[in-house]
């Protein structure tokens, strides 16, 4: 069973956070939702209250995840960026060539700040795209972009396609198609850019 760490904070984007948890769990992916704060209960950007599985400080720094996934939202992305524990996990994930995935503000605010986009084709929320190119990323306007072991996406409206693509990478494409059909999602193939 694939293991995913989904890091959240007060101010993470509601649609992205809940969509990622829901879709990945539909694929029987073990999603560990971890709050970067000292409290497992967070208030998302639009006021949704969510109880994480644990605080990030309770995650063993030597844990191996198939993917570390970051929702966007402000100021949630800034809180993810400022978490030393998350920064260390992301750098270790890059070193071991595990998947890193981020959507909306997270690519520009978190990944760019930790030098994780350099040389990669990436996308993100329009207001944070300049940070991607400033950090050495190559900007794409596709809703979901996969390059190497990095997957990025643009925002709330692309969260479903982003989550489904992660299912395809972490489980298989047949499971991705099955879940997409069950959710009545059609015609996503043109949304993906792969490098």
Percent of residues in the chain assigned helix, strand, coil, to nearest 5? 40, 25, 35
Query: What pLDDT score does 61 carry?
Result: 87
Angle (nearest 5°) at CA 153 between 147 and 157:
155
For residue 34, the domain's CATH number is 3.40.50.880
Mean of the per-residue pLDDT values of the chain: 95
Number of separate domains in the chain: 1
Report residue 188's pLDDT band, with 50, 70 and 90 as the boundaries.
Answer: low
Which sequence positions are flagged as catalytic? 104
Query: Which pTM value belongs to this model?
Result: 0.95
Question: Per-residue pLDDT for 194 more than 80?
Answer: no
Query: What pLDDT score does 189 carry?
Result: 57
75 and 19 in contact (C-beta within 8 Å)? no
Question: Per-residue pLDDT for 193 more than 80?
Answer: no
The Cα 47–Cα 186 span in angstroms is 30
* Cβ atoms within 10 Å, residue 70: 32
DSSP H or E stretch at residue 122: strand 121-122
The Cα 193–Cα 195 span in angstroms is 7
* HSE (side-chain half, CA atoms, 13 Å) at 25: 11
Question: Per-residue pLDDT for 190 more than 80?
Answer: no
144 and 162 in contact (C-beta within 8 Å)? yes
188 and 161 in contact (C-beta within 8 Å)? yes
* Cβ atoms within 10 Å, residue 22: 15
39 and 68 in contact (C-beta within 8 Å)? no
pLDDT single digits (tens) 26-60: 999 999 999 999 999 999 999 999 999 999 999 99
pLDDT single digits (tens) 144-176: 999 999 999 999 999 999 999 999 999 999 999
Give residue 187's domain range. 3-194
Question: Per-residue pLDDT for 192 more than 80?
Answer: no
3-state SS, residue 127: helix
pLDDT single digits (tens) 107-136: 999 999 999 999 999 999 999 999 999 999
């Amino acid at each position: 069973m694939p293991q995913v760490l989904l890091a959240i904070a007060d101010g993470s984007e509601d649609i992205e956070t809940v969509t990622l948890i829901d879709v990945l769990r539909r694929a029987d992916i073990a999603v560990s939702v971890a709050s970067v704060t000292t409290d497992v209960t967070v208030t998302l950007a639009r006021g949704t209250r969510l109880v994480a599985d644990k605080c990030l400080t309770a995650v063993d720094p030597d844990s191996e995840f198939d993917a570390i996934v970051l929702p966007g939202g402000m100021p949630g992305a800034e809180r993810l960026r400022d978490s030393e524990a998350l920064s260390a996990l992301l750098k270790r994930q890059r070193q071991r060539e595990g998947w890193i995935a981020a959507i909306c503000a997270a690519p520009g605010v978190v990944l760019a700040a930790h030098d994780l986009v350099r040389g990669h084709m990436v996308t993100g929320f329009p207001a944070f795209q300049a940070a991607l190119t400033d950090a050495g990323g190559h900007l794409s306007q596709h809703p979901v972009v996969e390059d190497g072991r990095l997957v990025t996406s643009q925002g709330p409206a692309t969260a479903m396609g982003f989550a489904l693509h992660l299912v395809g990478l972490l489980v298989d494409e047949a499971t991705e198609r099955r879940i997409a059909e069950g959710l009545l999602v059609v015609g996503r193939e043109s949304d993906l850019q792969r490098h």
